[in-house]
Amino acid sequence: MDILRVLSTPDLEVRKKTLQLALDLVSSRNVEELVIVLKKEVIKTNNVSEHEDTDKYRQLLVRTLHSCSVRFPDMAANVIPVLMEFLSDSNEAAAADVLEFVREAIQRFDNLRMLIVEKMLEVFHAIKSVKIYRGALWILGEYCSTKEDIQSVMTEVRRSLGEIPIVESEIKKEAGELKPEEEINVGPVQKLVTEMGTYATQSALSSSRPTKKEEDRPPLRGFLLDGDFFVAASLATTLTKIALRYVALVQEKKKQNSFVAEAMLLMATILHLGKSSLPKKPITDDDVDRISLCLKVLSECSPLMNDIFNKECRQSLSHMLSAKLEEEKLSQKKESEKRNVTVQPDDPISFMQLTAKNEMNCKEDQFQLSLLAAMGNTQRKEAADPLASKLNKVTQLTGFSDPVYAEAYVHVNQYDIVLDVLVVNQTSDTLQNCTLELATLGDLKLVEKPSPLTLAPHDFANIKANVKVASTENGIIFGNIVYDVSGAASDRNCVVLSDIHIDIMDYIQPATCTDAEFRQMWAEFEWENKVTVNTNIIDLNDYLQHILKSTNMKCLTPEKALSGYCGFMAANLYARSIFGEDALANVSIEKPIQQGPEAPVTGHIRIRAKSQGMALSLGDKINLSQKKNSI
């Protein structure tokens, strides 16, 4: 409960970590208190004025409540009524999360089905988003089992569709609202040739009347007139399911026929609307096929179709949910295996204050490491030998024969880079005003100029320079060393230094996101960099692992989808920089079979990012690393 007090902070990242921690710590004893706090937080977000982070925070809360309900089923009954209100939310992402949760809950918890259906019927007319509307229709069609519920669904659909037949009522509405002085123009008659080779004429009725506001249209009618007929295909499936179920429940033939006829009338009127010129976009062939199939099923009522519509749909949902649960369990198991640090009974206890400096490297205090990480001083686990890893980061800046030799150790912290430059006077003269002059390229900024030094003959000194980093892109630090020779009358001497390239990998960390978020970001990000695969690796999986290792990205495609061998592979990768920038990549690779078993992998990697620098830098990194001989 103390940890949950941190949720009052406005920072989204902190809230996310707090909720993850709370989920790790929750048990059956305190889950009720956690749910109460989260419900209060959800209601609070509803009253706050709309802000981008508010929507994301609401999504986080919904997901946390979802996880709680799955782990502790007793809590679901308390959570569902509060969350169902958000189905009518204008933010589609939060509503989609609620819908996903409701779908899982209604499938898992039989005892809550009545409650969920009842609540769904209450909020159904208020749903604003077409995607959520489709999902709600599917749930109602799949889980309405009583005669009363089925009738309620039909009433809600009729209410949401408005007056039928739609085409006639819309034309009447247009005609009724036209004022006498406005002229109706018949557009030019157009001759069309049909597939059969016969001629068909088509004329357009138009008027100069300004378009009527669309607010007074019922929601479903509005979606259809906007040309979104995918929701009509979903409605046709729902009507077919409830009609078949109604026929099984009610014995009276007259009522059966009347209900089925009503369902068929609704489908027929939607088909008629789709073929007319009223919607903004005409109905697609796929949706026509789907609605026609549903009409055929209702007209024939065969037992096979009844089974497919009313049993097999639900089975596929349960298969999907069980596969998802299995995957989650597997990832949790991996996480817990990583976390478990086994300590033997006779292991010595390490006290930081009492550890000698030379022992510090070999003993790692987990608490101290996590504390350092929390304060931002993340110490990356270097190679087994700490000295070797430090030497790997030393960059030679001048040649051995230059009068002044310089080399730099580049130490990368979270938001700044410290350059520890060793300057050696290789001459027999005293060097005065020896100054390290640096300049930067990219999003790097020199904090302060290093002060001048005086170097005795064959003396050396260390100069430290701080560089601030503002974003994730490859940066270059370049410069020179300027000095005066004491007693010489000549001008100042200058030694030009080699460039120091700052590696983007120091700022990129693997991260996870849902498929929906990945797709949304993929559509939003404007910078794309397409890298052609040019490697000598001959195995698809090896190549993917090599790319993951060299770019610090995480593979979002589940292992099951990547297992097996079929000659090609597609995977989505994701990473986030410490500055909160996202990087997405899609790997599409194949093994050209015709070139034999030793043929290298071919294909493309597409990288997308918000900033041009990040997309280009990641592309350069992949280009450099894939050419290495890693077989």
Q: Which three-class secondary structure state does DSSP give residue 549?
A: helix
Do the Cβ atoms of 492 and 467 come closer than 8 Å? no
Distance CA 72, CA 336 (A): 20
Average pLDDT on 251-279 reads 86
The single-letter code of the amino acid at 96 is: A
Instruction: Quickly state the pLDDT bin for 629 (edges 50, 70, 90).
Output: low
Distance CA 521, CA 508 (A): 17
Res 352: pLDDT: 62
Instruction: Estimate the crossing angle of helix 285-300 against helix 253-275, to 10 degrees.
Output: 160
Q: Which three-class secondary structure state does DSSP give residue 578?
A: coil
Q: Using only C-alpha atoms, what is the Rg of the chain?
A: 34
Distance CA 442, CA 446 (A): 11
Instruction: Quickly state the pLDDT bin for 191 (edges 50, 70, 90).
Output: very low
Domains of the chain: 43-173+218-314 (1.25.10), 393-502 (2.60.40.1480), 507-625 (3.30.310.10)
Res 373: pLDDT: 59
Instruction: Estimate the crossing angle of helix 92-108 against helix 130-143, to 10 degrees.
Output: 10
CA angle 441, 442, 447 (to 5 degrees): 75
Kindly tell me if the per-residue pLDDT of 167 is higher than 90: no
Average pLDDT on 588-604 reads 85
Q: Which position has the higher pLDDT, 52 or 479?
A: 479
- What does the mean pLDDT of the chain come to? 79
- The encoded tokens of residue 90 equal 């204008």
- The encoded tokens of residue 353 equal 């204050």
**pLDDT over 70, % of the chain:** 82
Q: How many CB atoms within 10 Å of residue 99? A: 27
Distance CA 75, CA 79 (A): 6
What phi and psi, each to the nearest 5 degrees, are found at residue 446? -75, 125
Handedness of CA 271, 277, 278, 284 (dihedral sign): positive
The single-letter code of the amino acid at 163 is: E
Distance CA 515, CA 574 (A): 11
| CA distances (Å), origin 596, targets 159, 543, 589, 601 | 64, 17, 16, 11
Res 266: pLDDT: 87
Distance CA 629, CA 613 (A): 27
Distance CA 42, CA 83 (A): 8
Q: How many CB atoms within 10 Å of residue 203? A: 11
- The encoded tokens of residue 50 equal 């709309």
| CA distances (Å), origin 89, targets 63, 86, 123, 196 | 16, 5, 10, 48
Distance CA 254, CA 74 (A): 43
**pLDDT over 90, % of the chain:** 6
Strand partners, 554: 574
| Span 103-114, pLDDT tens digits | 888 888 888 888
Strand partners, 484: 432
Kindly tell me if the per-residue pLDDT of 183 is higher than 50: no
Taking alpha carbons only, the member of 475, 478, 479 closest to residue 442 is 475
Taking alpha carbons only, the member of 465, 421, 467 closest to residue 442 is 467
- The encoded tokens of residue 258 equal 């009347």
Kindly tell me if the per-residue pLDDT of 252 is higher than 50: yes
Q: Which position has the higher pLDDT, 393 or 529?
A: 529
Distance CA 296, CA 290 (A): 10
Pairing of strands 404-412, 394-396: antiparallel
Instruction: Quickly state the pLDDT bin for 372 (edges 50, 70, 90).
Output: low
Instruction: Quickly state the pLDDT bin for 329 (edges 50, 70, 90).
Output: confident
User: What is the DSSP secondary-structure string of 125-141?
Assistant: GG---HHHHHHHHHHHH
Res 208: pLDDT: 40
| Span 284-326, pLDDT tens digits | 889 889 889 888 888 887 777 777 777 777 778 778 877 777 7
Taking alpha carbons only, the member of 129, 131, 140 closest to residue 106 is 140
- The encoded tokens of residue 68 equal 């709680």
Region class of 347: left (phi > 0), else alpha (psi between -120 and 50), else beta? beta
Average pLDDT on 221-225 reads 84
Instruction: Quickly state the pLDDT bin for 364 (edges 50, 70, 90).
Output: low
Q: How many CB atoms within 10 Å of residue 563? A: 8
Distance CA 326, CA 201 (A): 58
Kindly tell me if the per-residue pLDDT of 190 is higher than 60: no
| Span 374-389, pLDDT tens digits | 555 544 444 444 445 5
| CA distances (Å), origin 367, targets 8, 343, 356, 370, 578 | 26, 14, 18, 5, 22
Cα 354 versus chain centre, distance: 46
User: What is the DSSP secondary-structure string of 327-374?
Assistant: HHHHHHHHHHHHH-----TTPPPP-GGGS-GGGTTT---HHHHHHHHH
How many alpha carbons lie under 13 Å from residue 446 in its C-beta half-sphere? Answer: 16
Distance CA 407, CA 14 (A): 40
Q: How many CB atoms within 10 Å of residue 156? A: 19
Res 588: pLDDT: 92
**CB crowding 455-469: b at 16 or more within 10 Å, else e:** beeeeeeebebebeb
User: What is the DSSP secondary-structure string of 46-107?
Assistant: HHSPP-HHHHHHHHHHHHHHHHHHHH-GGGHHHHHHHHHGGGG-S-HHHHHHHHHHHHHHHH
Q: Which position has the higher pLDDT, 136 or 375?
A: 136
With a CB cutoff of 8 Å and minimum separation 6, the contacts of 512 are 554, 556, 574
The single-letter code of the amino acid at 354 is: L
Q: Which position has the higher pLDDT, 183 or 139?
A: 139
